[in-house]
Structure 1
Amino acid sequence: MTGPMSGTISGSATIPGAGPTAGTAEAAEAARLIERWLLRSGAQIGEGTERGAVAGWLDREGRPEFVYLEITGYYLTAMAWLASGAASSPERAAEAREHGRRAEGWIARTLSERGVPPTRLYLSSGRDDWRNAGVFTFDLAMAARGVASFGAGDRRAGPRGAWEELAADLCAPVERICVGAAVLRSHDTVAGAPLPDRWSTRPGPHHLKAASALGRLPDGVLGEPLEEVCRRTRAHWEARLTEAWPCRELHPILYGIEGLLLAPPRPPTPPTPPASDRALEVVERVYTRLMGLQAVDGTLTETTGGGIVRSDVLAQALRIGLLLRCRGRLTGDHWAGRLDGLARALLRFVRPDGGVLFSGDQDVANVWCAMFAHQALLLHSRVRSGATDPRLASALSELLV
């Protein structure tokens, strides 16, 4: 297991085939609007018991319906990325650090005073949600990763032991859920209540991202049994992704590919190529297969068999493709055009105020879609303008929301 993620931008990347194209300015402007929306829209609760928590989405009046531990973890990672050099100005970077401290504070207070919160903690009474009958390992892993991503990069987050302890507190329920398991289990039920059979309630490729996130936590945060479960989880779902799709939904498949990108470095075994090269070959092969589903208008549907077009799926696919291109993969004009198509399709979901719609049939602004889209569109604008700061792509490789 490696040390903590630094939250700083370092390293280098070469952008093959970069050059101006239609939509570069639009992508850059959309990224600035989304950044402002994430920091100033009310997506993060500003007062009351849940101050610092982050909503799943804002309704048509701009009000949060519920807060979400998983999305608060994503938000911490997004704030770490903004603070590390992705923000549009030093002032916005400072705002990101302050928002991250508030989110971290909510997680710490909630675990201390109330334990693990419901999956979707509604801000008004009388709301039922089947997700609240379970405690999900994926959500806890994303929250722990967010705490580590932000804590490692923020000098005012407290001593290293404080955020490490908070990350360990989030991992403790995962360890209990996965005792004796071969790979990460999806969830534990609350009071034995059954959950519907969905991709999120089954072990699946999305657990590659969870296992990789947990594997990048500082030494000592995870116990050895959970470390071993995470290693087996990565090996199992990497094999499944390279053989046949383990599910029909593109969202968890893309999570799996992200998990391959985020996986802790493995030592090379001579005379094979370096582990990083082998990992990128797997990512490129799986991603190329998935992009065979792209329509002529640049879109991807939510499943391998069709369905609606979702902005989170488009943004996930765009981020992965750009990171591969930054590392010398997906070269040539053909792939540049394919990624341009994803970017044009994604731009159609960005509202004038910077909120991002989940799908074309909704009129609410979705917070996780906004975070995914911001990363995708900002990197796309830099790559296609030819002015990419190579450190941005390097940071995104570690701080992929």
Structure 2
Amino acid sequence: MKALMKNLRGDRAIWGIVALLAIFSFLPVYSASTNLVYVKDSGTALGHLVKHGVLLFLGFMIIFAVHRIPAHYFKGLSLIGLPIILCLLGYTLTVETNIGGVSANRWITIPVVGIPFQTSTLASVVLMIWVARYLSKIRDRQVTFQESILPLWLPIALVVGLILPANFSTAAIVGALAFLLCFLGGYPLKYLTVMVVTGGILASMFLFVLFKAPEVLPDRAGTWKSRIETFLNPDEASADANRQVNYAKMAVAQGGIVGKGAGKSVMKNILSQSTSDFIFAIIIEEYGLIGGLGLLFFYLLLLFRIVVVANSAETIFTKLLVIGVGVPIVFQALINMAVVVQLFPTTGQPLPLISMGGTSIWMTCLAIGIVLSASNKKTEEPAAEIDDMNPLEVLSGQI
């Protein structure tokens, strides 16, 4: 154990928070997995728990491996990663998968091992690193909108555009976080204002088409429309469209202040996605308001430590890197919680480090590993920041 602790670098508070969240996740996952066993007739509760443990173990291996990579190496790695992820996103759209009988081309299967992989989760991490790299390059000079189209806005548009047909919520979140990073990175405000106004106009046009002629949009458009209508007018929504939201609210209401106790949830057997998208509802039902607020506290504490790491970083790239890959973890958690208490439309976003799901766990761990790498002063880029690095030099360790 002592040897292991000596090899753990970076912010110890982040290590502790992540470990606590992962350990706690076994309780709601084991409890909610009865839905998979008795309702969906899929394996055993112990089997799902073991699977979750294996996924978390592999996730922590990812954290350990990534956190030992010097933070400035990711600048060059993004040059290699972006073209690869664009190809993967394009390929994913050609792979037919279904959710509840509705087309949702989100996954590809990893060869040999046969594990499904959601490419949009990796794309969001790679895109944030790419944006951080570009913003660090232009930090100390004036930039025009025209010269930033190809290196900045085109990659953002391509990634968001390739995610959009199968996963509207993820595309919207990735686009919003990219804009936020541009704002924090000092991109000219006048250009961002133009982009926001343009985005608002395009979004209005999209919503108009979605409600007036959804048949011209991808197959998932019907699901998007139903979720928005259910959120805006829950009383007028159909019973089928409103069922899961109502079940989630019932689970929250039954939880009270202290909850029913571990494993005593009733709604887990009828609430769809109780092990992933709606696992927070099960947590509140079993551990009450105290448990829900406690979990929220740890996510906010994680956000605080991410901000501390970013603030103490010595280079602009490292600061933006930490914000770009770290903040989305907490942002996703807040969205998941907001959906359960009906402050946000249903999005399908899992609860980081808590929900079941290999891709979500692994990509969250990848992002955490990057943050930990940046928090390790021994691996941070020394002295003046190098903006233009050859990726081959980066991979070989030549600075």
Give the TM interval when normalised to the shorter protein: 0.3 to 0.5
Higher helix share: 2
**Structure (1 or 2) with the larger CA radius of gyration:** 2
TM-score using structure 2 length: 0.34
